[in-house]
Amino acid sequence: MNYLAHVYLSGSNPELAVGNFIADSIKGKQYLDYPPMMHKGILLHRSIDDFTDKHVIFKKHVSLLFPRYRHYSRVIVDMYYDHFLALYWDNYHSDSLEEFSLSFYQTLEEMQDLFPDSIKRVIPIISKYNWFLSYRTLSGLENILLQMSIRTKFKSDLHHSIEELELYYELFKADFFVFFDALENFVKNKLELLD
């Protein structure tokens, strides 16, 4: 899952959400250097990624993209899922996506002294271009994928993956709802275990 899903799945605790958000930049046992609730968010993020990578629906979607995008396929599918979550946000959260996004960006700014440099660099971009809200439209998603493509180490052409999303749109959408329901149940149980 990508940024929006990870933050949403953290529930209403800002520190848990921030830990979940920064987790990809926290390697090994470095999570122990963070406050307890952020520590929990980092571990939750890792569990979500593990669940996602092993899920039959996610693997099916990655296989559709793999011939063209290779190891970037997983990232692209994560982005597709954030698109559907943003598009159908009102089915999942009582706050508007605009309110939710601005509140989280504010939290990031307030806590950024705790973050690795790689996260500090991305916060202004996410906030300036309002990534969470931009996920909602295909043009917004394409723009984010283009920004990501520019920063990838190897040629990725991530933004061209909008073509596959349009081609298989109904398949991705229907599968997303099934997958995300399973993921929400997994996270609910995982949070109880982490407590």
DSSP secondary structure of 34-83: S-HHHHHHHHHHHHHHHHHHH-HHHHHHHHHHHHHHGGGHHHHHHHHHHH
> 7 with 17: CB under 8 angstroms?
yes
Tell me the longest C-alpha to C-alpha distance in the chain: 44
- pLDDT band of residue 118 (cuts 50, 70, 90) is confident
What tens digit of pLDDT does each residue of 24-74 get? 899 999 988 899 999 999 999 999 999 999 999 999 999 999 999 999 999
Measured distance CA(31)–CA(152) in Å, rounded = 25
**Which of 93, 77, 86, 97 is CA-nearest to residue 175?**
77
For the chain, give the number of residues: 195
pLDDT tens digits for 11-23? Answer: 999 999 999 999 9
Q: Could you tell me the pTM of the whole model?
A: 0.94
